[in-house]
Amino acid sequence: MRVPMIAGNWKMNTTVTEAVALVNEMRRGLDEIDNVDKVICPPFVSLATVRELIKESSIKLGAQNIYFEEKGAYTGEISPLMLADLCEFVIIGHSERRQYFNETGEMINKKVRAALRAGLKPILCIGERLEENEAGRTEEVVTEQLRSSLAGIDYPSGLIIAYEPVWAIGTGRAATGKQANETIGFIRQIISQKYGKKIAQDLRILYGGSVTADNTAEFMQQLEIDGALVGGASLKANEFLSIVKQTSEIKQVR
């Protein structure tokens, strides 16, 4: 049985002061919900402060990016060792990083390896662009993204995958539950071929892209979908709480 997970990707939003306020607003409510891994991923500069605020709670912490070298002359970068000291999860390969910061499959592979080596749990993001979707190339694209991101990795212990179709991110145009379930089922098959049935069955695969309190139930009712990576709606305490609560209730019944 896979424990569902809701992760909030705050992206480049909130000052430290605002991050503190947001955590204070949702900490108690989130802490009271069980049966779901609740992860928040604030900007790097707030990680240490937020960590202190949630340390007595069941809320978990993640970062939004990582560099693959352990230390050295890489001005401005954040290493796996620095993150492992602060948090449990790290988002890797988000489409915004692929698009605006030219992250390639090879770089993402190095980041996943570095994260796993440091004992961090990567939340690996994959997903097709609109034109690829319209050309019926979704399966081909996610297959290639999985191949390159996981190349040479024997046993991805702790890995989580987030299927985030690029056309659904920040657009208000979410995939349907059925569409997301099909692609996530396909992703699980690819993982099964590469790593075997047991690892595939245990692997958590999240959906991401315009998830809101209003459409959460549609996704969580799907058997292959183990939770969500939430952007915009994770910045509103009440909405995020509602997403987590609904997930707990729906997945518990299943």
Residues at the contact surface with ligand 13P, assessed by CB under 6 A: 9, 94, 164, 169-170, 208-211, 229-233
What is the C-alpha to C-alpha distance for residues 69 and 234, in angstroms, rounded to an integer?
A: 30
- Report yes or no: 161 and 203 within 8 Å, Cβ to Cβ: yes
Least distance CB 152 / ligand 13P (angstroms)? 26
Least distance CB 41 / ligand 13P (angstroms)? 8
> Of the two residues 59 and 195, which places its CB atom closer to ligand 13P in the complex?
59
Residue closest to ligand 13P, measured at CB:
231
Amino acid letter at 24?
N
Least distance CB 123 / ligand 13P (angstroms)? 9
> Of the two residues 119 and 170, which places its CB atom closer to ligand 13P in the complex?
170
Shortest CA distance to 39 belongs to which of 84, 92, 88? 88
- Report yes or no: 105 and 148 within 8 Å, Cβ to Cβ: yes
Enter the tokens of residue 13.
């939003």
Least distance CB 95 / ligand 13P (angstroms)? 7
> Of the two residues 125 and 195, which places its CB atom closer to ligand 13P in the complex?
125
User: Which strand (E) or helix (H) includes residue 23?
Assistant: helix 16-31
Just list the catalytic residues. Answer: 94, 164
Least distance CB 61 / ligand 13P (angstroms)? 16
> Of the two residues 14 and 210, which places its CB atom closer to ligand 13P in the complex?
210
> Of the two residues 79 and 210, which places its CB atom closer to ligand 13P in the complex?
210
What is the C-alpha to C-alpha distance for residues 6 and 240, in angstroms, rounded to an integer?
A: 9
- Under DSSP, the state recorded for 173 is -
- Tell me the CA distances in angstroms from 30 to 49, 50, 161, one per residue in order: 18, 14, 22
Q: Would you give the distance in Å from CA 218 to the centre of its chain?
A: 19
What is the C-alpha to C-alpha distance for residues 244 and 5, in angstroms, rounded to an integer?
A: 8
What is the C-alpha to C-alpha distance for residues 149 and 217, in angstroms, rounded to an integer?
A: 30
